Amino acid sequence: MRILLVRHGESLGNVDPRVHLTTADHAVPLSPRGSDQARQAGSVVEAHLAEVLGDARPHVRLWVSPYLRTRQTADALLETGGARITDRVEHILLCEQQFGLFDGVPEEELATRFPAEHGYYDMQCRFGGKFWARMPQGESRFDVAKRIHQAFGTFHRDEEEHGIHDVVVICHGVTLRAFVMMWCHLSPEWFEAEPNPHNCAVRLIEGGKDRGYLFEGFPRP
């Protein structure tokens, strides 16, 4: 199976974290620049699929996290990269890490607003356990990896029952790293050492191997 993993474009939350004080994480939209980034990523996806598929026209499925910013990334990506994509499906397990009580709270305020919860979480992180540390009423990175692994059954069934060997997945930074880790049987230490991808980075998994980034994406200004 060939998998192209794409992180969403720049969101308003990436531009100004204060947007999380008034908007739930799943409802944060792309910035105008984020839409442009997604169109550029679409050109990368289209060029790669054209190169590897040639004149063949197999079923290429686009999987999307159901967050607003990933849906909008899919919309823009399809404008330039949709020539070979045959359908689009959402998968709830591709969503972002759930931040629980910490969602939308500025980092410098966490210790004051949630002293006990933040104290425990901070201790785990300082002792090298960030991968395992669960945010209160939210998820750890371990939890994200578990649910991403649950989604793999859908991909395998698509391949075995419907002959879908090429997929594009639009998701989030932590989700993308967890996907690579679990699909390629990598370690938690690999996950923690791996930088979060830039917005609209495009990463290739092929033959069960991580082939790295086809496109590095757009670092924050």
132-155 pLDDT, tens digit each = 999 999 999 999 999 999 999 999
What's the pLDDT at 21? Answer: 84
> Who's near 51: CB < 8 A, 6+ residues apart?
none
What's the pLDDT at 37? Answer: 98
Domain locations in the chain as residue ranges: 2-98+139-215
What's the pLDDT at 173? Answer: 97
> Who's near 191: CB < 8 A, 6+ residues apart?
131, 141, 145, 177, 178, 181
What's the pLDDT at 178? Answer: 98
Mean pLDDT of 67-79: 98
207-220 pLDDT, tens digit each = 999 999 999 999 98
> Which span out of 16-25, 113-122, 126-135, 170-179 was modeled with the highest average pLDDT?
170-179
Alpha carbons within 13 A on the beta-carbon side of 101? 15
What's the pLDDT at 18? Answer: 85
Percent of the chain whose predicted confidence (pLDDT) is above 90: 88
pLDDT bin (cut points 50, 70, 90) of residue 107 is: confident
Mean pLDDT of 172-181: 98
11, β-bridge pairs: 30
Whole-prediction pTM: 0.94
The per-residue pLDDT of the chain, averaged, comes to 95
Mean pLDDT of 50-60: 94
Is residue 130 classed as helix, strand or coil in its secondary structure?
coil
Which residues are catalytic, by number? Answer: 8, 96
CA dist 18 to 24, 32, 218, Å?
Answer: 11, 17, 21
77-102 pLDDT, tens digit each = 999 999 999 999 999 999 999 999 89
The yes/no answer on whether domain 2-98+139-215 falls in CATH 3.40.50.1240 is yes
Asked whether residue 221 carries a pLDDT value surpassing 80, the answer given is: no
